[in-house]
Amino acid sequence: MCEPKLLIADEPTTALDVTIQKQILDLLETLRKRRQMSMLFITHDLALVNEIADQVIVMRHGEIREYGLAKEVLERPQDPYTKALLLCRPTLSHRPYRLPVINDFLKQQQDGQLVEDVQLSEIKITERKRGLVGGEEIILDVQNLKKSFFSRKGFFGKEEYQAVKGASFQLAKGKTLGLVGESGSGKTTIGLLLMRLQQATGGQALFQGKDILAMSEKEFRQYQRKIQIIFQNPYASLNPRFTVGQILMEPMQIHGIGSNDAERKRLALELLDKVSLPVQAFDRYPHEFSGGQRQRIAIARCLTLKPEILICDESVSALDVSVQAQVLNLLQDLQDEFGLSYIFISHDLSVVKYISDQIMVMNHGDIVEIANSDELYQSPQHEYTKRLLSAIPQAVVE
């Protein structure tokens, strides 16, 4: 052991589920006290700072914007940028129609410099109603979905691991179903099964009255464009050798959308505008964009096929809170405009509550609870759900 006097923890809990995140924080705090060492904890999540830090430094563009005791900074932030970081993140207490973003708090001079605080009362914080009331049109009906993986055991035997154990649920048209649970609970596997990127062991998934899991490859192709997926890592999900224009036009060419390349380019440019990217992005490569911009490109790529269902697999977990708010607002705008249905997979329960109408909680391949978003958070029934909720870190701001 190195027995350090200073431990630098650089985003040690990013993309971890809330219970594992809490365990890591507890471990770091235990080691700090036991070894009498100092710790520099680097994170984009101020809720975690509230859990572990004694002092906090808030930085923007290489400059220190605020510095002080963590409790004082989080309860009475003086700098508008600090307030923005605190309020961009979804909370369990309310659900604004749109999440505040950095520019809601920071006005700009003509030279582009951010200069002054905007009162929260000036920002539109109308509550967005979520939940199912009954009678909604069902677009996807999944029954007894199963997936097992097998590993060798000895010379001739094999051992079965059940990743999904008979999952049954429905997705309403124009609504969002959130999937939450710890790592390894089966959330992502369900998304991959519905995309047929993995083969189901059993069950059925009825889309427009037909079982997409039982279709031949030829039959599924005409349905494939109707169900699309946004992956977690925006740095790995885009072809680095393609320009953004090629990335957007390729699926249109494969599925016969647009009569020629000129029309496909026009459609691609319209989609760039929809996801708030400039037309100049068309000729640029993925490495020239930030993580949030790449995720916008991935969303635009899905929209080229005019899908009815989007599976969002941890699609905002790798983004900092300000960019995350922008992408969540974009997803809601697109849902309102196109009537999209979302399956939103995430380990972040605050984000899931904000965007979901109904939430499904998974544990070791089992569905342990399904309820409307507000109902599940106000009165969880299963002990596992209660444990997940109790592990959510909370930041504070006046």
**DSSP one-letter string for 66-109:** EEEEHHHHHHS--SHHHHHHHHHS--SS--BSS---HHHHEEE-
For residues 237 and 357, state if they share a domain.
yes
Is the pLDDT confidence value at 124 over 70?
Answer: no
**pTM as predicted:** 0.86
136-142 average pLDDT score: 94
Token digits of residue 345: 């997979």
User: Which range among 241-245, 382-386, 394-398 shows the weakest confidence by mean pLDDT?
Assistant: 394-398
CATH number (domain holding residue 269): 3.40.50.300
Q: Which whole number is the average pLDDT over 150-159? A: 78
Name the percent of the chain lying above pLDDT 70: 92
- Does the structure show a pLDDT above 80 at 105? no
Predicted confidence at residue 148, as pLDDT, reads: 94
Q: Kindly state whether residues 168 and 284 are assigned to the same domain.
A: yes
pLDDT at 398 exceeding the cut of 50: no
Helices (H), the chain: 18-35, 46-52, 70-75, 80-88, 102-105, 187-194, 217-224, 244-254, 261-274, 291-303, 321-338, 349-355, 373-378, 383-390
Domain span at residue 75 reads: 6-122
pLDDT at 347: 84
With a cut of 50, say whether residue 343 has pLDDT above it.
yes
Bridge partners of 388, per DSSP, are none
Average pLDDT, the chain: 87
Give a yes or no: residue 1 inside a domain.
no
Instruction: Check whether residue 327 and residue 247 sit in a common domain.
Output: yes
**Confidence class for position 158, pLDDT limits 50, 70, 90:** confident
DSSP for 37-53, written as a single string = -EEEEE-S-HHHHHHH-
Look at the chain and report how many structural domains it folds into.
2
For 253-268, how does the pLDDT look when each residue is reduced to its tens digit (9 = 90+)? 999 999 899 999 999 9
Tell me which of 122, 150, 183 is where a domain ends: 122
Among 103-107, 207-211, 227-231, 380-384, the least confident range: 103-107
Same domain, yes or no: 201 and 63: no
Residue 204 β-bridge partners: 143
| Range in 64-68, 97-101, 217-221 the model is least confident about | 97-101
Q: Is residue 132 part of a domain?
A: no
Question: Among 265-269, 364-368, 375-379, which is the least confidently predicted range?
Answer: 375-379
- Give the pLDDT of residue 289: 92
